[in-house]
Amino acid sequence: MAEGRVPPHDIEAEEAVIGSLLIDPDAILKVSTSLKAEDFLSEANRAIYHACLNLYYRNEVINQITVAHELARQDKLEQAGGAAFLSHVISNVPTSLHVEYYAQIVSNTGVMRRLITAARQIESLGYEASPDVDSCLNDAEDILFKVRGEQNLRGLVSIREVLGQYFDEAGQSTALREGAVSQILTGFTALDSFLGGLQRTDLIILAAKTSLGKTSLALNIARNTAVNQKACVALFSLEMSRDAVIQRLLSSESGVDSNRIRLGRFNEKEELRIMEASGILSEAAIYIDDSPMLRVIDIRSKARRLHFERGIDLLIIDYLQLIQGEGRNSRNETRVQEISNITRALKTLARELNVPVLALSQLSRAVESRPSHMPQLSDLRESGSIEQDADVVLFIYREDKNYSPEEWSKTHDIEREPYPRGIADIIIAKHRSGPLDQVKLRFLDRTARFANLEAEMISASQG
């Protein structure tokens, strides 16, 4: 703040709030959750409002006499202008009808002053000239978001108002904001049928043993969402490099063997298919970060930045166990506790950005000890609160990875069941808002791509 400039304030609005509280004890119910004592610039008004809050919290009546007594008890009556000042503000407010309007003015000016304070704190960070620039930027963002976060506290709202907002939003032909999509579809018909798509604010965990295709499924979902729905996808790839991600996407899109793309050994026809796939993917709003050592605070900072610039529709993290702990907690904190903190933070981020967060996860070795190898919720590696925080948990299970054709024929000979080569069961092990079930997809190893079995059957019949 420049020298000589007065910080934002409105003394008349402050006195109008105080006067309203003194003439109408019930007025405190309308402002106590949204208006803070520090929102008042005047020390006198701040002291009086604080006294009103104290009386309210003790379930005592609020009027000129009780407030004066409370101020005297705190030895602040003279500081607040004495009984004469209380009489003055009462005489200037004929009715408490507009107390919420006055309170909003006081609250807004309080936010502006806190913004000025935040700017000073950020200025101090800059003058410190720390060599850790990323940490300073994260701290600066946290300072600003703390100011914003204080304004996001919600009070109790009538169901009439909630229903009105719900149907207003549901009835919009466009999304919640310009350019966004209202429903995030995976592109897999059976899965979308059970889940209703990926719901905003949900934390979805996709888990599987190594090499069963969880990264491929996540990339397929990213592609389907970005290409088919024109959605914006943020992908944090902690395990694979950007080049590896691009090779997978090109292989899946073009149908050219991923190894041939990786080694550059493709023929002229395949090259044309790859170039066509490149053209399709280049138009997709998929943003990739392949930083290998990320903390949740880094993911949150980068995601919020992109969300501000573009508006994210889907956030994907590959994978959960590779996220670094903050390293500033107790030395006795276990990795399980760290993962629990991470999943809670990811769930918070999903709500904060109003997007689905799809986080991939490893399974523990316990799944290997069971004859069926069928995954369970308890198999989530370093589970902690993963199961608790997740809204949806999906497992990938493949019989052809557990049984050879010979072993399969021995156990299924009577039923004459065909060997399930390339058939993947997507198990919906937890669904906070719907049924549990499992759906089948085709997995094509050569191109690391999942496909709808229904589409495959239709294609075969048409051929």
Residue corresponding to tokens 């300073």: 136
Strand partners, 346: none
Active site residues: 239
> Ramachandran region of residue 151, left (φ > 0), alpha (ψ -120 to 50) or beta?
alpha
Residues 310 and 339: their CA atoms lie apart, in Å, by: 29
E-strand ranges in 307-388 read 314-318, 357-362
Residue corresponding to tokens 């499924």: 217
**Where are the alpha helices (H) located in 239-334, listed in sequence order?**
242-254, 258-263, 268-282, 296-309
Residues 107 and 37: their CA atoms lie apart, in Å, by: 10
85: amino acid identity, one letter:
F
Q: Which DSSP symbol is given to 35? A: -
State the number of CA atoms in the 13 A half-sphere of 104 facing the CB: 3
Q: Under 8 Å CB-to-CB from 218, ≥6 apart: which residues?
A: 206, 235, 316, 318, 358, 360
Helix (H, G, I), strand (E, B) or coil at 223: helix
Helix (H, G, I), strand (E, B) or coil at 406: helix
212, 223, 254, 437 from 450: Cα distances, Å: 11, 11, 13, 19
The arrangement of strands across the sheet holding 423-431 comes to 285-289, 232-237, 314-318, 357-362, 203-208, 392-397, 423-431, 437-444, 449-452
Helix (H, G, I), strand (E, B) or coil at 133: helix
In terms of Cβ atoms closer than 10 Å to its own Cβ (0-12, 13-18, 19+), residue 222 is: buried
Helix (H, G, I), strand (E, B) or coil at 10: coil
Q: Does an H or E element contain 165, and which? A: helix 159-170
- β-pair type (423-431, 203-208): unpaired
Q: How crowded is residue 302: how many other Cβ atoms within 10 Å of its Cβ?
A: 18
CB 184, CB 372: distance < 8 Å = no
Strand partners, 98: none
